[in-house]
Amino acid sequence: MGNMTLFHYQTPAPDLTVEQLLKDKWQGGKKTVHLMRMSKSVLDANNEPIDDWRTPLAAGTELVFTFPEAISTYLADEQSALTVLFEDEHILAVVKPAGIATHPDGPGETGTLMNRVMAYVKKQGGNYAEHIHRLDKGTSGIVLIAKHPIAKSLFDRMIEQNVITRTYIAEVDGHVKRPKGTIRLPIGRDRHHPAKRIVSTSGQSAVTNFRIIERKEDTTIVEAELETGRTHQIRVHLSHLGHPVTGDTLYDGHATEDGTYRLTATALAFVHPFTEQQMTINI
């Protein structure tokens, strides 16, 4: 399979070499950058390979990036719909319904969000799609998808550095007294229950900011914003406060009639690393 052009880019400033752009500005992984160099994956505006990666480029130089062997192995699930909230040459923002996993646990598995995404990408002639973060199976909402390996590398680092603001809406049991607050409690594995997480002094640091949106008869609607992204973080933190997510029986929430729990990832905000524009994506 030949190279596929994935995006065009205009250099914003002079004195930036191709190597600096890929390695330093975009934090491209060594393997990806090496593969791109060997396969002459960086072209000029006339689609001619740029062989000199160490000479500074003039501001406004147009580059065309292609990626050899950038192929994801998810099976395409063409039977299920996919809601796309945002798309450009670098990323997709899609909605994961409650009740399906973000990605397969093993080869050949289908029925997950990434199987739906792969079908969508393949219809557009693409072969690459990788999730940048995950949502629990029972949580619905926005998931970011990388459309090429450099985007994957860059957004992974943005997640690690907590520069992507992730906002959730939860309905929780009972009446939360404080109108807003910050929960700073480390989260670790529950040794007695492999699927559970607990507040644990030996766990990883975890920070959740919250504010009350609405008080109902027996529940409270809470907006929560993650500063860290630990497994089950919002569910564990709110349960520890004595207000588990409604329907989240794993963490002692009151069961719901439909068996789901009330937690949705409703917004993402970040500075787009390629366009340098402030982005906010909402459901």
pLDDT tens profile 171-229: 999 999 999 999 999 999 999 999 999 999 999 999 999 999 999 999 999 999 999 98
CB neighbours (10 Å) of residue 78? 12
> Going by C-beta distance under 8 Å and a sequence separation of 6 or more, which residues neighbour residue 70?
4, 6, 127, 128, 148, 149
Residues of the chain with pLDDT > 70: what percent? Answer: 98
pLDDT band at 15 (very low <50, low <70, confident <90, very high): confident
Q: Is 173 found in the same domain as 155?
A: no
For residue 194, the enclosing domain spans 166-265
Q: Is 222 found in the same domain as 189?
A: yes
75 lies in some domain:
no
237 lies in some domain:
yes
pLDDT band at 1 (very low <50, low <70, confident <90, very high): very low
Q: Is 133 found in the same domain as 56?
A: no
Task: Tell me: pLDDT of 77 over 50.
Answer: yes
> Going by C-beta distance under 8 Å and a sequence separation of 6 or more, which residues neighbour residue 237?
183, 185, 187, 199, 206, 208, 224
77 lies in some domain:
no
275 lies in some domain:
no
Nearest CA-CA partner of 43 in 62, 26, 58, 59: 62
Instruction: List the catalytic residue out of 24, 51, 88, 136.
Output: 136
Q: What is the pLDDT of residue 269?
A: 97
Q: What is the pLDDT of residue 4?
A: 61
Q: What is the pLDDT of residue 14?
A: 72
Q: Is 174 found in the same domain as 156?
A: no
pLDDT in tens, 18-60: 999 988 888 887 888 888 889 898 999 898 999 999 999 888 8
What's the average model confidence in pLDDT over 6-16? 80
Task: Tell me: pLDDT of 110 over 60.
Answer: yes
pLDDT band at 99 (very low <50, low <70, confident <90, very high): very high
Q: Is 241 found in the same domain as 154?
A: no
User: 144, 161, 178: which is the final residue of a domain?
Assistant: 161
Q: Is 170 found in the same domain as 155?
A: no
Judge residue 118's burial from the number of C-beta atoms within 10 Å of its C-beta, 0-12 exposed, 13-18 middle, 19 or more buried. buried
- The count of structural domains within the chain is 3
Q: What 8-state DSSP symbol labels residue 31?
A: H
Task: Tell me: pLDDT of 5 over 90.
Answer: no
Cα gap 53→36, rounded to integer Å: 11
Cα gap 270→161, rounded to integer Å: 12
Q: What is the CATH number of the domain that holds 237?
A: 3.30.2350.10
Task: Tell me: pLDDT of 2 over 50.
Answer: no
Q: Is 261 found in the same domain as 170?
A: yes
Q: What is the pLDDT of residue 29?
A: 78
Active site residue 105: no
Q: Is 214 found in the same domain as 154?
A: no
What's the average model confidence in pLDDT over 69-76? 89
276 lies in some domain:
no
Return mean pLDDT, the chain: 92
Q: Is 254 found in the same domain as 174?
A: yes
Q: What is the pLDDT of residue 213?
A: 98
Q: Is 200 found in the same domain as 133?
A: no
Q: What is the CATH number of the domain that holds 13?
A: 3.10.290
pLDDT band at 276 (very low <50, low <70, confident <90, very high): confident
pLDDT in tens, 125-172: 899 999 999 999 999 999 999 999 889 988 998 998 889 999 999 999
C-beta of residue 69 within 8 angstroms of C-beta of residue 2:
no
Q: Is 251 found in the same domain as 172?
A: yes
